[in-house]
Amino acid sequence: MRIGFFDGVREIGGNKIIIEENGEAILLDFGKRFAVNNTYFNDYLPGREWNSPYDYVKTGEFPPFRNFYKNPLPNDIETFDFEVKAVFFSHAHLDHIGLIDFINDRIPKYMSAYSREALSFFNERGIIGKTENVKIFEEPVKIGNFTIKAIPTDHDIPGSIATEIDTPKGKIFYTGDIYFHGRHKEKSENFVKYASESKPYILITEGTRFGWGFVTSLTEDELKAQIFSLMEQCKGMVIGNPYEPHISRIQTFYELAKENNRTFVMTLPYAYIVSRYAKIGDEVSQRILEDKNTFVYMPHRDLKEWEKNFEGKFINASDVSKEQKNIVFLLDFKSTPELLDIKPEKGTIYIHSGGEPLASLDAENTKILNNWLNMFGIPYYRIHSPGHAAQPDLFRMVREINPEILLPIHSQIPERFEIVSDRVKILERGILYEF
């Protein structure tokens, strides 16, 4: 059996994990690298559309997998001696799912129901192109000598899963991205207990927060309390900017509105993803949409067909402007120019809570956001809790699961795990290792 990491090596994001035996492979995640790790291409200079994915493979940005991409690779590309039979996605963050539209449609792609709805959100916004053969990952899947199972975990996007792979050599677990301080932390704790009892051969784990300047995390209730303390002082409109698919954070702003007798208003991207989650039975999303004090902000333009689904819930800039002191308003970054029509008054505050721009990862847009807020004299507050396990939680998780071999990924300092384990093996990018 061979395992290889393609990206996610000494960097955050871009996970692409191959597990292969006898020429048949499964791939865990196929994500975009963050912009700070780009070498030859970025959003301004993408690979040539008519020549994709050749440009990316030739420059080493994509792995040379045989019969894997929608457009076949030319004969001058030397490919690996295996074929990917299926791809399993841990969750729907772009650094894990963002390249799914390059994958050949004949290859099945497995993910949770929530992740499929988030994928639809990215499709609608033009962030990810359309893809086919996407399957809900509920029952075990057998590929060659591997049996793959999904285990629910908690992260800052719903539908995150850890992956269990039964192999002839023993069990492999891949954590995906995981944390232990969210609204559903019991899912992550249950995964640790299950993996520990399984006595795994290999644990592939994220280590995002190694090297970060803090070790603790806010719970959602603690984060909510911090925002409330600002609301008490400022008394104006509260503008929130969480990551659109992060329903737990949307719930926090909704609860703040409801508990303080304010109207809850969302721009269309938030309304879209909440409606998608509601469609698959998410009770929180259903409750938010059904509340008579929840409204959807209608921009001054023609609506797309799906946007018309919110008829009866719309509120316009004039309405928001008149009632702004009584409103909690979720404003996605791309809708920031709506402030020109809303005309925020003194006392308005802006809570950046995980939405775009991603601070140090997007310095240019961070500067632009600050310019907009400064124009209206709106104070900026960053109240956020990252959706990754804090360092003590990572150490505890590894000790409890106690694998024979520990393979870190999605970490700038994978060696940090050597503090708690003498079984750490660091894989180099693009190399297949025998296990």
Q: Cis omega before residue 299 (within 30°)?
A: no
What's this model's pTM, rounded to 2 decimal places?
0.94
Residue at token pair 């404003």: 331
Closest-CA residue to 128 (of 153, 155, 94)? 94
Position 325 scores a pLDDT of: 95
Position 106 scores a pLDDT of: 97
What gap in Å lies between CA 178 and CA 187, rounded to an integer?
10
What gap in Å lies between CA 198 and CA 282, rounded to an integer?
31
Average pLDDT per 10 consecutive residues for the chain, totaling 435 residues: 96 95 97 78 78 85 94 90 97 96 97 97 92 96 97 97 97 97 96 98 95 75 95 92 96 97 97 97 97 95 86 94 96 96 96 86 87 96 91 95 97 94 96 97
What gap in Å lies between CA 306 and CA 77, rounded to an integer?
42
What gap in Å lies between CA 364 and CA 176, rounded to an integer?
29
| Residue extents of the structural domains in the chain | 2-212+387-434, 220-382
Contact 82, 131 (CB under 8 A): no
Tell me the H-state helices in 98-246. Answer: 113-124, 185-198, 220-234
What gap in Å lies between CA 269 and CA 287, rounded to an integer?
18
What gap in Å lies between CA 388 and CA 91, rounded to an integer?
13
Element at 167 (helix H, strand E): strand 161-167
Top CATH class of 2-212+387-434 equals: alpha beta
Contact 137, 112 (CB under 8 A): yes
Closest-CA residue to 207 (of 427, 42, 3)? 427
The type of residue at 88 is: F
Buried/exposed code over 92-120 (b: 16+ C-beta within 10 A; e: otherwise)? bbbbbbbbbbbbbeebbbbbbbbbbbbbb
Position 337 scores a pLDDT of: 96
The β-bridge relationship of strands 146-152 and 238-242 is unpaired
Q: Helix %, strand %, coil % for the chain, to 5? A: 35, 20, 45
The domain 220-382 is classified under which CATH number: 3.40.50.10710, 3.40.50.720, 3.40.50.10440, 3.40.640.10? Answer: 3.40.50.10710
Position 37 scores a pLDDT of: 67
Residue at token pair 């929530």: 114
Same fold, 2-212+387-434 and 220-382: no
